[in-house]
Amino acid sequence: MYIDFYIDGYMQYKAKFDLLISQDTVMPYQPDEYQHVKYLWEDHIADELSPVDNLVYRSNKLGEDQRITNTGGGNTSAKLMETDPLTGEQVEVLWVKGSGGDLRTSTRENFSSLYEGKLQALDEVYQAYPDKGYKSAGEDRMVGMFKHCNFCLNPRASSIDTPLHSMIDEKHVDHLHPNAVISVASCKDQKALTETIWGGKLAYVPWMRPGWEAARLCEETYEENPDIVGILLGQHGHTNWAGESKSCYETSLWVIETAARYIEEHDKGEMTFGGQKYAPLDESSRTRLLTEFLPVARGMISTEVKFIATVQTDDATLRFVNSVDAPRLAALGTSCPDHFLRTKIKPLLVDFDPQNDDFEQLVDKFKAGLQQYREDYIAYYESCKHEDSPAMRDPSPTVILIPGIGMIAWGKNKSESRVTAEFYNCAIEVMRGAEAISEYTALPAQEAFDIEYWALEEAKLQRMPAEKSLARDVVVVIGAGDGIGKATAHRVAREGAHVVCADLNYTNAEKTAAELTDIYGQGIGVAGSGISACGPAIALQVDITKRETVECLFSQVLLAYGGIDKVIVTAGVFVAEGADMAKNDQIFDLSFGVNVKGGYVVASEAQKIWQSQGLKGAMVLTTSVNGAVSKKGSLAYDTSKAAANHLVRELAVTLSPLINVNALAPATVVQGSNMFPRDRVISSLTKYNIAFSADESTEALRNKLAEFYAQRTLTKQPITPDDQAEAAYLLISGQLSKTTGQVISVDGGLHEAFLR
């Protein structure tokens, strides 16, 4: 009797324990045993956080490992008890990562908060719609209803996956897009593999576009399978849950690690993607081809709008583009909807033989491939469109694959192109995994179209803020380390430009680029090889008197961004001559070398790129009013600036009609100028009998001299680097698109420099 009692009690306890293990702590791996994801949870940090901040922490830890989810992809949630600000009562609130957020970088402000009870009640609203159903207008209309459920007037737009998180009756839910899991979800036998890999702990639902109907199907699957910890979403990713935040995190890791281990057990090694058809080019040959090809390609695809590039040449990318199966797999297109919203339905694989074709053949084959791609895309649009579909977007590819070289991804700015590259990196890994364990399948064309041209996605695009005036431009500022150049770099960055901060003094250039990055950020996306992994501002060293360094500068810019649009040269040198004119030869050589020849060298090297691109551009040189006003003590400087003025006119003729060339002519810009070091300022103050004390700061002395110069002008105002930067921006902004060969004085009104 007693034995039976204890056995019954043990069996009841074991059943409860097994259920707890199956639902909340599926983690046969210790934190240090994970091979394919990083275990990043730290109790001493997480335990000190509020429930909402703990959700943010979980999200950040998941997003930090790019094998878990891609930039901007996936969402997490927690159902928490909060105090209703109107009634003072405790209510259940769903906190879920909002639309457009990124798990890796999200903060509390990136999360929507909604009354869970109101969300649940929305199903009655939906069921009353006469036009409800999968992909119906009624289903789409539900997204607009979410805002009626907002808790505490939270303005963050809710994710399309909000009903999924609400309908799963668990406190914590993660919805992720890991490469390993999508690999399984993209196999032709994905349902059977779900059972095999996760042993019944994950259920399976076939592909459905995210929305109310997909969430209801997941809810039904959850209710019908009490022992599961998650659901594999066909062609999409997975959702898992737990009653506690840390357990939910660990369950997510278990799902991904389990899939990754299964894939690695079946990895095909050297026969991945059918083996290698081509050998990669050596780095030197690849770089040479890329720097020649990038501006050509940019010009060809930028027929409607300009694009910025990210180059990917890592081993994983090269293994794919060089493989036997690359043509077959690339033509199938991507699977996960998060991917092809960036990468389009498929990439353009150029029929290039790296061992036998040359640059001209690469260009010819790309041109032919581009034409065919556009024709195919138009046919795809025409065959799949609905009566109310948005107008067809640019039919150009956003991903170009080249055997022997790698991948070039394109976007409206650097962040977008890096995300595009990142997503196709993910697509390659998904195809590798799927082909290792089964056969890769992509979404049917109609399903892909219905995501790409979804009314909700179109509405999201329409809500995007207008692009700034230089958002798609690459602007090279030479002399960006200080003075006018630094101010100009900041000015064009405010208009969205990708800024190359170039200077003879690399340390100063780095400081300017770092300032811009601190203000505008590095951008999103984790892709790009070498310098192409950069953000919207980079620093490079250049000596404009040496052609090889200018050539190297532009080569790096091409690898970083794919092209060049505007070049602004603010670099210059001033050295006062001595009394013995016969001993001033070196001063003349230096002055003309930097102030005249340097501008010519930059223009002639940029010309090669501009001609390859075939896109309109602009160049601005910095001369001086001294080029028109002769005065004692600056013979070499003044005559070099006069020559620079004429160089502007010559270059305007030479580079027309593609490039506008103009100049700004400053006068007495003392503040922040390396042409006015302390000793020169003191010399000038002494020359003009301006009282000063030797213990005054350099900036104070500069201000005295600047004010003296201001009184000689008609406007009576000191001239600053920002004044010059404004003129430089105006000359490249497009507002003066029919002005070329002109020199614009920014001197406060020196009548001595008036046009004669």
**Residue 62 near residue 74, CB atoms below 8 Å:** yes
Give the residue with greater pLDDT, 690 vs 271: 271
The pLDDT value recorded for residue 49 is 98
Catalytic: 381? no
For residues 589 and 550, what is the distance between their CA atoms, to the nearest angstrom?
A: 19
- The token pair that represents 429 in the structure block: 């890994």
**Residue 165 near residue 96, CB atoms below 8 Å:** yes
For residues 489 and 568, what is the distance between their CA atoms, to the nearest angstrom?
A: 9
Q: What are phi and psi of 238, to 5 degrees?
A: -150, 160
* Residue 19 reports pLDDT greater than 50: no
For residue 677, whether the previous peptide bond is cis, meaning omega lies within 30 degrees of 0, is no
pLDDT level of residue 10 (50, 70, 90 thresholds): very low
For residues 645 and 162, what is the distance between their CA atoms, to the nearest angstrom?
A: 62
The pLDDT value recorded for residue 674 is 67
* Least confident piece of the model among 262-276, 339-353, 406-420: 339-353
The CA distances from residue 738 to 183, 202, 262, 299, 734, in Å, are 54, 64, 63, 22, 8
Diameter over CA atoms, the chain:
121
Q: Is the dihedral of CA 8, 9, 15, 21 positive or negative?
A: negative
Query: Per residue in 267-310, pLDDT tens?
Result: 999 999 999 999 999 999 999 999 999 999 999 999 999 999 99
Which residues, including other chains, have CB under 8 Å from residue 614's CB and lie 6 or more apart?
A: 299, 658
The pLDDT value recorded for residue 517 is 97
The pLDDT value recorded for residue 101 is 81
* Residue 426 reports pLDDT greater than 80: yes
Angle (CA) 401-407-410 rounded to 5° is 100
* Residue 106 reports pLDDT greater than 60: yes
The pLDDT value recorded for residue 184 is 98
* Residue 5 reports pLDDT greater than 50: no
* Residue 6 reports pLDDT greater than 50: no
Mean pLDDT of the chain: 92
Query: Per residue in 213-268, pLDDT tens?
Result: 999 999 999 999 999 999 999 999 999 999 999 999 999 999 999 999 999 999 99
pLDDT level of residue 458 (50, 70, 90 thresholds): confident
* Least confident piece of the model among 287-301, 507-521, 587-601, 674-688: 674-688
Q: Which residue among the candidates 204, 380, 453, 637 is catalytic per the annotation?
A: 637
The pLDDT value recorded for residue 700 is 85
Q: In what order do the strands lie in the sheet with 308-312?
A: 308-312, 406-411, 399-402, 348-349
Residue type, 328: R
The pLDDT value recorded for residue 534 is 97
Query: Per residue in 383-402, pLDDT tens?
Result: 999 999 999 999 999 999 99
Query: Per residue in 697-735, pLDDT tens?
Result: 888 888 888 888 788 888 888 888 999 999 999 999 999
Q: In what order do the strands lie in the sheet with 659-666?
A: 537-541, 498-503, 474-478, 566-569, 617-622, 659-666, 743-746
**Residue 577 near residue 743, CB atoms below 8 Å:** no
